[in-house]
Amino acid sequence: MKLIGYFRSSAAFRVRIALNLKGLAVEHASRHLRKGEQFSADYVALNPQKLVPALVLDSGEVLTQSMAILEYLEETHPEPPILPKVPADRARVRALALICAADIHPIQNLRVMSYLRQKFGQTEESAFAWSRHWIETGFEAYEATVKDDPRTGAFSHGDQPTMADLCLAPQVFNACRFKVDMERFPTIRRIHAACMAHPAFAAAEPSRQPDAEP
Amino acid sequence: MKLIGYFRSSAAFRVRIALNLKGLAVEHASRHLRKGEQFSADYVALNPQKLVPALVLDSGEVLTQSMAILEYLEETHPEPPILPKVPADRARVRALALICAADIHPIQNLRVMSYLRQKFGQTEESAFAWSRHWIETGFEAYEATVKDDPRTGAFSHGDQPTMADLCLAPQVFNACRFKVDMERFPTIRRIHAACMAHPAFAAAEPSRQPDAEP
């Protein structure tokens, strides 16, 4: 398999963690999003969404959308699991994951920030404030959901990493770039620390990727 | 089970279709998003995300995030299926669903449009143009993905509705509200017509809900 990503992409970061957790060695390739390499004809032919990541299977089939890729990896390589067994618990984990993957990240990714600056003439500071607003709104919901629930353990659900943590850790990384005050989210901070102490998360960290830049 | 939704919410619309397809009768309740009823203390206690839908199980447990709810319904009520059997096909269906559910809808829903108007001082027309931009960007990707793929049938994947269609049909409904030129997306139009001819989709249509307004 080959993962086409970008070191700083939250969505690619999620998939890297899953591959590491499940012990899957894949070839890594990169598209430089800030240079617009996701718009090149050869990439668009692979992924008309012009987004990363894309996972190219050995069959040649191309999987897109990080959450669909995580589910695929879980179905084809179930050990160790990133979803619990009981359906209502699986729903809890997926809902936590989607707070980040649907209701934070898409609203404040590179293409949206570019629109704010180019079409609405917003300053860098006002685009940053936008980003912080959506991260904080999502993190308030995440914190409220995990803080007093007995199902929360060392990680967001129990004591092993799940899909929720795979989405949370990249979002916290991103929140730090946008100077979100993480003191407001003590449970998220605690879970994030547990994640980054885990070798599968640490090795997936953006600065440790071959395409990393300062 | 009780579904707490709002007639015009794309996310609630998805869940209504799934419930209808699977023949599950549930109690329906509504939170009027434009009146801010999702911010009332009793609802926030149920769903700290302050979004609809929420599915209250008979156990009292509350499920949130429409995509997590769809997966739950598929796991607990597998017939008729809304995902195919083969993992790579499941990934294709989920990726199509997520084009709408992650990369279009969250960027142009009510709370985001409100921010554009209130914080960035954008006009109604410029907020509409924003919405159209993200719908068209997503639909270009969706159209390119489905148009020549032999796995596309009467619906987005084969000849029965899947999770992809459950997300596409509400997004097309929304696109029409924002005056997107659907002539550009002939395959989406054809699939959407098949969806709306299906009783499970037709009965879930916003105008047919008890809380519908003109």
Which residues between 160 and 189 in chain B have a beta carbon less than 8 angstroms from any beta carbon of chain A?
none
Backbone dihedral angles phi then psi of residue B3, each to the nearest 5 degrees = -100, 120
> What is the identity of the amino acid at A192?
H
For residues B130 and B153, membership in a common domain is answered with yes
Q: What is the mean pLDDT of residues A6-32?
A: 96
For residues A193 and A93, membership in a common domain is answered with yes
For residues A96 and A186, membership in a common domain is answered with yes
Give a yes or no: residue A213 inside a domain: no
CATH of residue A131: 1.20.1050.10
For residues A64 and A126, membership in a common domain is answered with no
Measure in Å the smallest separation between the Cα of A27 and chain B Cα atoms.
19
Answer yes or no: do B141 and A48 touch at CB < 8 A. Answer: yes
How many angstroms separate the CA atoms of B4 and B66, rounded? 11
Dihedral sign for Cα B1, B6, B12, B16, please.
positive
| Mean model confidence pLDDT for chain B | 96
pLDDT digits (tens, 9 = 90+) for A41-97: 999 999 999 999 999 999 999 999 999 999 999 999 999 999 999 999 999 999 999
Give a yes or no: residue A214 inside a domain: no
For residues A91 and A192, membership in a common domain is answered with yes
For residues A122 and A169, membership in a common domain is answered with yes
Give a yes or no: residue A66 inside a domain: yes
Q: What region does A37 belong to: left with phi over 0, alpha with psi -120 to 50, or beta?
A: alpha
What distance lies between CA A169 and its chain's CA centroid?
Answer: 7
Question: Can you tell me the ipTM of this complex?
Answer: 0.97
- What's the structural domain count of chain B? 2
pLDDT digits (tens, 9 = 90+) for B192-202: 999 999 999 99
For residues B116 and B163, membership in a common domain is answered with yes
Give a yes or no: residue B213 inside a domain: no
Answer yes or no: do B67 and A102 touch at CB < 8 A. Answer: yes
Q: Which domain holds residue B72?
A: 2-80
Q: What is the mean pLDDT of residues B51-71?
A: 96
Q: Examine the fold and report which residue of B80, B112, B136 is the final residue of a domain before the chain moves on.
A: B80
pLDDT at A214: 85
Q: Examine the fold and report which residue of B35, B59, B80 is the final residue of a domain before the chain moves on.
A: B80
Give a yes or no: residue A181 inside a domain: yes
What distance lies between CA B170 and its chain's CA centroid?
Answer: 5
| Closest partner CB to A71 (pick from B49, B63, B90) | B90
Q: Angle at which helices A124-146 and A110-118 pack, to 10 degrees?
A: 140
CATH of residue A55: 3.40.30.10
For residues A51 and A147, membership in a common domain is answered with no
Structure tokens at A179: 């100077």
For residues B74 and B92, membership in a common domain is answered with no
Q: CA dihedral defined by B122, B125, B126, B129, rounded to 10 degrees?
A: 150
**CB–CB of B50/A141 below 8 Å?**
yes
Which residues between 76 and 95 in chain B have a beta carbon less than 8 angstroms from any beta carbon of chain A?
76, 87-88, 90-92, 94-95
| Closest partner CB to B107 (pick from A95, A106, A126) | A106
Compute the residue count for chain B.
214
For residues B169 and B94, membership in a common domain is answered with yes
Structure tokens at B211: 């809380």
Is 0.90 topped by the overall pTM? yes
Q: CA dihedral defined by B176, B182, B185, B187, rounded to 10 degrees?
A: 70
Structure tokens at B47: 């769903």
Give a yes or no: residue A123 inside a domain: yes
Give a yes or no: residue B38 inside a domain: yes
Instruction: Give the confidence band of B157 by pLDDT, cuts at 50, 70, 90.
Output: very high
For residues B180 and B159, membership in a common domain is answered with yes
For residues A111 and A194, membership in a common domain is answered with yes
Q: CA dihedral defined by A109, A110, A114, A120, rounded to 10 degrees?
A: 10
